[in-house]
Structure 1
Amino acid sequence: MYVFYRKSSRYSQNKALLRVTNDILISSDTGNLNILILLDLTAAFDTINHSILLSRLQTIYNITGTALSWFTSYLTDRHQFIHIDNCKSDSALLTQGVPQGSVLGPLLFILYILPLGQIIRRHGLQFHCFADDIQLYLSTKTINPVTHSTLTNCISEIKSWLKLNYLQLNCNKTEIILIGPKTLTNANSSLTLSIDGTPVSFSSHLRNLGIIFNQTLSYEHHIKTPSHLRNIARLRPSLTPQSAEILIHAFVTSRLDYCNSLLYGSPSKLLNRLQYIQNSAARLLTHTSSRDHITPTMFFLSLSQSSSRLVDACVQALKVQHCPIQASTPEAAKACALPQTWTLSVGKVNL
C-alpha cells in the first residue's frame, strides 16, 4: 500500500496516522515485527527545481497549454525580501522552491516526488507521504541480513533519487522504531541500520505527525505530554478567566483532542489518565477544589467524558464505513473500510 497525502480538510493527519497504525496493528496481530522509518528532508519545499516540476506536470500528469503556462507563471519570476519596521532588504529572485504557506505548495511537492513511489514499491516496502513527511514501514517475522539489506538498499536509492532531484535526506534526523510484540522488539532493540554510512539506532519512541509512537503503540508517552497544566497553574492567580481558558485550550485540551481517535481502545489505565488531565484542567479554570465533585463543573463547561470524546472522534474519522464510498474519499480511508474476516483465538474458543 502506498499513499501520498496533501494537507487539506479531507486529507488530515488523523486519516494518515489511522492508515499507518491500522496497517501496523493488523501486522502485529499476526505476530510480525514492524519497522517504521521516518525520513527527514532538509528544507524540502525550498529546493524544488522548477524545470523538473514543470516537466513532470506535462509528461506525467498531461498538464499542457494554458494550464501549464499558468503554473509556469506561478512558479517563475518570483522575488522575496525581508521587511522589519522601516527597514527593507534588497529583493532577491527565487529560482527554486514553491511558495511557503500556499495552498498549492504541498500539492506541487507531492506531484514532484510522486516517482519516488516506484523505488519504494520495488523494494517491497509500504509508505505514506503527508506533504514532506515520508514514512516507510516493513512487516517481517525477524530482522535478518536480507531484511537489513532491503532497508539499506531502499534508503540508499531514495537518497540518490532525492539528490538528483535537488532534495536532501537528513540522515541525522531520520528516525527508526520497532513496533510489535514485546518479545520481538526487545530481542532486536540493540540493532542499528546504516544509512549512507551513518548508523541509526532504533528509538524506544518517536514523534510522528505530532503523535508520540512507542514500540507497542500504547501511546503512554503521548498521554504524558500535557504537563503544561502545572505551568498554567503557577500563572493562574494572575490570569483572567478568558486568558486561562485560552491557555488551557491551546496547551492542554487541543492536545487531548488532536488525532484522539488513535487512542480508542486504549487500556482503562490510560483512559483514566486522560480523564484526570481533563478534570484537572476544568478545576484549574473554574477554581474548583479537589474535594468537590467534578461532574457539576464538567456539566457547566459542557465537557463530555474523555471516553465519549474518543468515541465521537472515531465516528467522525471512520464514518466512511457507514456511508457510501465516494470518488472523493481518500484511498487510505477506503482501504480501512473494506470488510475483513477475523479469527481471534481466546483460550480454546475461536471467535
Structure 2
Amino acid sequence: GSYVSWIEDYLKNRFQFVCYEGYISRPVKVLSGVPQGTVLAPLLFLLYINDIVNGIDANIKLFADDCIIYREISSQADQIQLNELLKKITDWCDNWQMALNFNKTVTMCLTRKKKNILEFPYCVNGVDLRRVTEYKYLGIILASDLSWNTHVTYITNKALAKLFFLKRTLKYSTPEIKLLAYTSLVRPVLEYANISWFPHTQNNISIIESVRRKAIRFVYNKYSRFDLPTELLKKAGLLTIVDRVKLSRLKFMFLLLNDAFKIDKNKYVKRSEARATRHKHSDTLVEYSFNNNSFKHLFFPSAIRDWNSLDRHFFSSTSVELFGDAVEKQLLCQFMN
C-alpha cells in the first residue's frame, strides 16, 4: 500500500560519503540499514527484527539490537536444546543478512550453587561462545552468583566521580545549587532501575549510603567529624536510600494495580480475599511464600510487603503523583523522628 511505498522511497537511493579536513570521498550507495538520528529509524529496525522470536521455545527479550535468551537448565538435554535455539537465531540472521557480534555474544549460568554446576560448551557456527561470570545488560551488571557486589561498586564509583567533578566546579556555590546538582547528576546514577536490583545486604546498602553522606557534606561544606551527616540529611529533607527505593517500588505498584502498564498484573499479584480488619486494609495483596533470602528480597515480594504495610488512606489517591507525595511525606516524617 501507500505506507509501504512511502517507506521504500524513504530508504532507497541514499548515498553516504566521508568528509575529512575539507576533502570529500566518493559517494557510495547505501544498500542496507536505516538513517541514523531519524525518528522513523528505530521503529523500522524493530519491525525488521521483531519476528526473530518466532519458533524460539525459551524466554527471549529484545531491546533495540540487544537480544537475550534464557531458560531453566535441569539436565544436559536442556543445554542441547538451548544450543539448538541459538542455531535458530543464527539461521534467522543468515536469512535476513544480519551479523552476530561474537565479541559481545556470551553465555552465563545464574545459580546459587557452589558445586555440581552443569557445564556445556555452547557454540554458534562452530564458534565456542565465551562464558562469563558477569555481564552488563541495559546498564545493570548481572553476576552469575546473583549478587550485586560488582554493580554496587560500579555505580558508586561512577557517582563518586560525578561528585568529585561537582566539588571542583561548584566549590563556591550556594547549598541550594549544590543540592540541586547532587539530586540531578549524582543521585540518578545510584538509583537507576534500582527497584529491580537493590541489594538486601547491609554492606552494599552502606556502600551506596556512603556516597550520599559524602554528598551532603559537600552540599553544606561540613567536613568536621562533629557535623553528623544524618542531621545534615534531615536539614536538606532527603530520604534515606532505602526509603527512596521503597517509594519507587510503591509508585510502581500503584501504577501496576491501576492498569497503567501493558502487563498482566494477575500473573504477579493477587488481592487478598480475607476480610478487612483494623490492621488489614481492603487493598491488601497476597504475600509470596519463600524459603531463602534471595527470593524474599526480590521486587514483588518486597513491594507487596511495602504495599500491605501502608495505611488505608493512601489508596484514595487519584494519581500516582498524589500517591507518591503522600508516601514520601510519611517516610520523611518517620526519618525526621
TM-score bucket (shorter structure): 0.5 to 0.7
**Number of residues of Structure 1 aligned to a counterpart in Structure 2:** 271
Q: Which residue of 2 aligns with 1:133?
A: 66
The residue identity in structure 1 corresponding to 2:93 is: L
Displacement of 1:129 after TM fit? Answer: 0.5
Match status 1:261 vs 2:205: no
Query: Aligned equivalents of 2:184 and 2:31: distance in 1?
Result: 38
More off after superposition, 237-246 vs 86-95: 237-246
The residue identity in structure 2 corresponding to 1:294 is: P
Contact 1:264/1:314, CA 8 A, preserved across alignment:
no
Unaligned runs of 5+ in 2: 271-285, 293-337
Contact 2:149/2:204, CA 8 A, preserved across alignment:
yes
Query: Aligned equivalents of 1:91 and 1:112: distance in 2?
Result: 26
Alignment partner of 1:171: what SS? coil
Of structures 1 and 2, the one with the larger relative CO (CA 8 A, separation 6+) is 1
Displacement of 1:199 after TM fit? Answer: 2.2
Aligned partner of 1:283 among 217, 242, 260:
217
Taking a change above 3 Å as real, the CA distance of residues 230 and 306 of structure 1, as seen in their structure-2 partners, is closer
Alignment partner of 2:223: what SS? coil
Unaligned runs of 5+ in 1: 1-64, 347-351
Aligned partner of 1:274 among 208, 215, 219:
208
Displacement of 1:239 after TM fit? Answer: 2.6
Query: Aligned equivalents of 1:294 and 1:217: distance in 2?
Result: 32
TM-score by length of 1: 0.65
Percent identity between the two aligned chains: 22
Bigger radius of gyration: 2
Match status 1:93 vs 2:29: yes
The residue identity in structure 2 corresponding to 1:111 is: L
Q: Which residue of 2 aligns with 1:46?
A: none
Match status 1:182 vs 2:113: yes
Query: Aligned equivalents of 1:68 and 1:160: distance in 2?
Result: 26
Aligned partner of 2:257 among 293, 298, 322:
322
Taking a change above 3 Å as real, the CA distance of residues 86 and 284 of structure 1, as seen in their structure-2 partners, is farther
1:334-345 aligned at under 5 Å gives the runs 334=265, 337-339=268-270, 342-344=288-290
TM-score by length of 2: 0.68
Q: Which residue of 2 aligns with 1:66?
A: 2
Match status 1:200 vs 2:134: no
Q: Which residue of 1 aligns with 2:326?
A: none
Query: Aligned equivalents of 2:15 and 2:287: distance in 1?
Result: 56
Contact 1:205/1:213, CA 8 A, preserved across alignment:
yes
Displacement of 1:88 after TM fit? Answer: 4.8
Query: Aligned equivalents of 1:301 and 1:197: distance in 2?
Result: 59
Contact 1:321/1:337, CA 8 A, preserved across alignment:
no
The residue identity in structure 1 corresponding to 2:83 is: T
Contact 1:228/1:251, CA 8 A, preserved across alignment:
no
Query: Aligned equivalents of 2:245 and 2:94: distance in 1?
Result: 42
Aligned partner of 2:51 among 90, 115, 126:
115
